[in-house]
Amino acid sequence: MATATTRTILFSTVRAASKVHTHAVAVFVSDREARAYGALLRLVHQSAQKEAILSLDPAATCDDTGTPVTGVKLTMATVPYKPVPELDGDDDTITES
């Protein structure tokens, strides 16, 4: 089975109290998965369900009352990914070149 060589990161950006807050929501193997999760997160933000928003995005920016801030912009970034192979044996045998 071929391993994925890229990962897609879903970011959330919102302006609150005249500051811009950006954080990574989740990392996905494919763009398709990130788009589906982003669509679900966008729908939950539109419905303003606090518990659902925080379950999908625990780092969501909240106001003083603990309610997630509205006006969230979701973006994606695809980055290269090369997993490090697992080596059998002692960690002391690994040397840096």
Per-residue model confidence as pLDDT tens digits over 59-68: 888 888 888 8
Burial (0-12, 13-18, 19+ Cβ within 10 Å), 41: buried
Q: Considering the entire predicted model, what is its pTM? A: 0.75
Residue 2 has pLDDT above 70, yes or no: no
Higher-confidence residue of 44 and 1: namely 44
pLDDT of residue 11: 96
Residue 96 has pLDDT above 70, yes or no: no
Closest CA to 31 of 72, 89, 67, 79: 79
Residue 90 has pLDDT above 60, yes or no: no
Residue 77 has pLDDT above 90, yes or no: yes
Residue 88 has pLDDT above 70, yes or no: no
